[in-house]
Amino acid sequence: MLRKSRYLEFVPPDIGVGDIGGLGNLKEWLIQRSAAFSDKARAYGLPEPKGLFLLGVQGCGKSLSAKAVAALWQVPLLRLDVAALFEGRAEEGLRDTIRIAESLAPVVLWIDEIEKAFLGEASGSRVFGSFLTWMQEKKAAVFVVATANEVRSLPPELLRKGRFDEIFFVDLPNVHERLEILEIHLRHRSRDPEHFDLLAIAEETERHSGAELEQIIVAAMFLSFAAGRDLQ
């Protein structure tokens, strides 16, 4: 079914909560709901979780967080290509997307940069209305993770309570979070963080995003490799 879809792709669960530096409130929220799709949760009287809206600065972990949700909850992750969806017959494409996602439930549906789909969209448009109605009334276990860099022109109905369970703002990391991010990227590259003065680097990289911190590590490794020595 996914191979036949022009708009959905399966994303391998290769990112865990431990691969994300900072974002402590978001991690805690996700861990508390790690059994949200279980029969035990239904028997307890809990509703199916609806979704999560991540707003914030580019390169600060929104996409990583979407991947971590699926890995933590142990459900498949599907990514919706909103640009492709709105290039063609959007209303029909949205119906097909919803049908496929619901047939694979429980599943996480990741809508990256949702503002590309609905930025400036008229509140009364049929596609927008269909999406809002589905978000409000869906019964299948499809957890929507929407990310956005810009929301000032998004229709306010999209962010009303009831569409999403929670909204998180993902900001630039502070010095402690930068230290954690640097340690994570060094470990991913088989280096011991204890061998480096990472606190000094964290203090010198104010207003750097997580993606920029990763590139600092990568650039340093290229320099070291070219010089024929280990990373310093």
Instruction: Say if CB 104 and CB 78 are below 8 A apart.
Output: yes
Q: Mean per-residue pLDDT for 77-96?
A: 85
How far is Cα 181 from Cα 175, in angstroms, rounded to an integer?
10
3-state secondary structure of 42: helix
Distance CA 22, CA 53 (A): 17
Tell me what the pLDDT averaged over the chain comes to: 90
Dump pLDDT digits (tens) for 89-118.
888 888 999 999 999 999 999 999 888 777
* Mean pLDDT, rounded, for 58-63: 92
In the structure, how many helices (H) and strands (E) does the chain have? 10, 6
Between the two ends of the chain, the Cα-to-Cα distance in Å is: 49
Of the candidates 69, 88, 65, 78, which has an alpha carbon nearest to the alpha carbon of residue 111? 78
CB-based burial, 58-91: b 16+ in 10 Å, e otherwise: ebbbbbbbbbbbbbbbebbbbbbbbeebbeeebe
Of the candidates 169, 183, 174, the one whose C-alpha atom is nearest the C-alpha of residue 214 is: 183
> What is d(CA 119, CA 102) in angstroms, rounded to the nearest whole number?
25
How does residue 121 score in pLDDT terms, banded at 50, 70 and 90?
A: low
